[in-house]
Structures are given as structure tokens and as C-alpha cells.
Amino acid sequence: MAENKTENKITMLTIKEAAALVDGLMEYRVRQMCRAEQIPCVKAGKKFLINKDVLFDYLRGDLK
């Protein structure tokens, strides 16, 4: 039986990728925000991974 599933893809970004998406946002600042828990992120080994949608929500001011 085939089901129609709509899957939402979760895109996780490294600090470098997140900084590259936003003009004026430096890797250093993204790292600071992760360490200060200003934006939700996941630590995988030594790397921080940031959900792309959550990052944009934070930058728009939608995150509380």
C-alpha cells in the first residue's frame, strides 16, 4: 500500500555555512551565539550544527 508522505527536510548548517548565508555575519559571531546558547544548536563532536530554519527565525526576531 503506497502512502503519500510529505516529508519536511531538516537542513543543518555548520558555522561556516551559516555565516556564508548571511551577509555581515562572521563565523566568530555564529560560534559565540552557539556557545552562549542564543540560538539552538546541536554539538556533533567538535562541530556545532544549526538548523537553517531556526537560524533565519532568530535573525528575523521570531525566536524567544
State how far the Cα of 23 lies from the Cα of 20, in Å rounded to an integer: 7
Determine, yes or no, domain membership for 20: yes
Predicted local confidence at residue 5, as pLDDT: 66
Q: How many domains does the chain have?
A: 1
Name beta bridge partners: 50: 13
Determine, yes or no, domain membership for 7: no
Determine, yes or no, domain membership for 45: yes
Each residue's pLDDT, cut to its tens digit, for the chain (64 residues) gives: 556 666 788 899 999 999 999 999 999 999 999 999 999 999 999 999 999 999 999 989 886 6
Domain that holds residue 39: 12-60
Q: Are strands 47-51 and 12-13 parallel, antiparallel or unpaired?
A: antiparallel
